[in-house]
Chains A and B, each alone.
Chain A
Amino acid sequence: MTAALRLADTPEHRSNRGLAIHVRGLSKSFENGPSVIRGLDLTIPAGQFVAVVGRSGCGKSTLLRLILGLEAPTSGRIALDGAEPSKRIMFQEPRLLPWARVADNVAVGLSRDIGKADRKARALDVLREVGLAEKAGQWPATLSGGQRQRVALARALVSRPALLALDEPLGALDALTRIEMQAMIERIWEAQGFTAILVTHDVAEAVAMADRILVIEEGAIALDVDVDVPRPRRRGDPALAELEGRILDRLLRNGA
């Protein structure tokens, strides 16, 4: 692998790779509608893996988009602190360009002032990391759904972002592929040390992957728990199940 792409960083380097996020008094409402986010305060230390769970329409995706700068807050402040403020997002759909080959799609994630040969090399490197190196020259239409999401992940990671946002990226995949991809994302996060924010409605997924879980209810944080279970985490671990149960109780209590 090229020196420019050390996928396993040393611990010191790792801890200040990610962005720290400070949110103060954040509010957001759309076009004279009701507030989707209400006076939210949040601090995410660099390199943390945070999962945001909540019912549909609770504002979790909006919070993600606000942090990424895709939406402007109605009031409040968001500050991103870190060596390089690079952020990338992985959407629920792969959103690959159908008319570009897989390697070119991955290269979309790279900044424009990187030379052509270098782009190819880095795209191939990251495709190898997600296990799709042999598909580099194929059209996206020939890939399965899980493979396309892996390409999307590669595209998000190729520029080695300091913040990776994941907006329900695994929702459309079958259960086994989902578990494999969770393990892959966790492995890469551990190696690279970026800050990760995962928005998901699957509490099991949140509990398996994250250091910390935020439950959003009606635009405010209803619950903020740390997941103290050491990695690598086993599915079926009773500690995880207990936490999942607690969170689900909280989520389902106000709906039922």
Chain B
Amino acid sequence: MADSAAIRSLPGRARTLEAAPKPAPRFDAGRLLPWLLPTLVILGWQAAASLGLVSTRFMPAPLDVAAAGWRLAQTGELFENLWVSFARAASGFLIGGGIGLFFGLANGLSRLSERLTDTSLQMVRNVPHLSLIPLVILWFGIDEEAKLFLVALGVFFPIYANTLHGIRSVDPQLIEMGRVYGMNRRELFWRVVLPGALPSIFVGVRYALGIMWLTLIVAETISANSGLGYMAMQAREFMLVDVVVLAILIYAALGKLADSLTRALERACLSWNPAYRNT
């Protein structure tokens, strides 16, 4: 480089001020930090199991769980059940979320709609949806509709409430500006109201995803003949504790995956907002 050449041509002592060579790009260890704690937990867990501190009948070692996972993957059972669970969760989420979004928008934009439906919806919300399981089994049996119904019901309210809140809290000054600058109702909705409500809607989506998993797990454990929960329940019947733990870990991983996907979507849609830029 020109600088080092120039510096090297200087006499004696001046040379010690030569610019330090550029450091090689460091591996950014900071990004691994969130995983430090889970890793330590797993290592400790494995150590406890290997040293016989904990009976593997009660708590299988991580390696056993991994082996069970491998075994099930080989037979195709794992992916089949995974797919079934995923399909249920996604369908229930889309149905319940879609209805929640519709009512949230309708009640946010139309006073009449709100006065007609909000009270009824609030009453529905106050019934814990999981307590309806016996009724659901009675009505739907243990078929797909039962689980779809439960997931949809659980997902509905967070999305409804947060969409409604989002629409209500759009800055009225922006709406006035839009009106004054000649936006018709359609434009006002797409350019001002909906983008303004979007951060709240995302909050609702995140919350609903948590409830979706919860509902699915419980529903599958109680009334199913396929899916992850069913797999875990069968394992419990046959005392395959490693499979039970495997199912739990998969639930955790899927939950994390759903959350990460939502965050990525948020970052893409909400990049204009400084609050979301560094998540």
Residues of A within 8 A of B69 (CB): none
Bound: A166/B226 CA distance, A: 67
Residues of A within 8 A of B270 (CB): 99
Whether B273 sits at the interface, judged by CB under 8 Å, is yes
Interface size class of A (residues with CB under 8 A): 10 to 19
Q: Which of the segments B19-27, B29-37, B92-100, B173-181 contacts the partner chain?
A: B173-181
Residues of A within 8 A of B210 (CB): none
Contact A89 B180 (CB under 8 A): yes
Whether B58 sits at the interface, judged by CB under 8 Å, is no
Whether B192 sits at the interface, judged by CB under 8 Å, is yes
Residues of B within 8 A of A93 (CB): 173
Option from B178, B181, B272 in Cβ contact (under 8 Å) with A99: B272
Whether B274 sits at the interface, judged by CB under 8 Å, is yes
Whether B195 sits at the interface, judged by CB under 8 Å, is yes
Residues of A within 8 A of B11 (CB): none
Total contacts A to B, CB within 8 angstroms?
Answer: 40
Known contacts: A108-B181, A109-B181. The answer to whether A97 contacts B195 by CB under 8 A is: yes
CB distance from A80 to the nearest CB of B (A): 15
Residues of A within 8 A of B52 (CB): none
By beta carbon, the residue of chain B nearest A98 is: B272
By beta carbon, the residue of chain B nearest A109 is: B181
Option from B176, B191, B271 in Cβ contact (under 8 Å) with A97: B191
CB distance from B175 to the nearest CB of A (A): 10
| 19 extra interface residue pairs, beta carbon distance < 8 Å, beyond A91-B177, A95-B176, A139-B272 | A70-B180, A91-B173, A95-B173, A95-B177, A97-B174, A97-B195, A99-B195, A99-B196, A99-B270, A99-B272, A99-B273, A100-B191, A100-B272, A108-B181, A108-B191, A111-B182, A140-B272, A141-B272, A141-B274
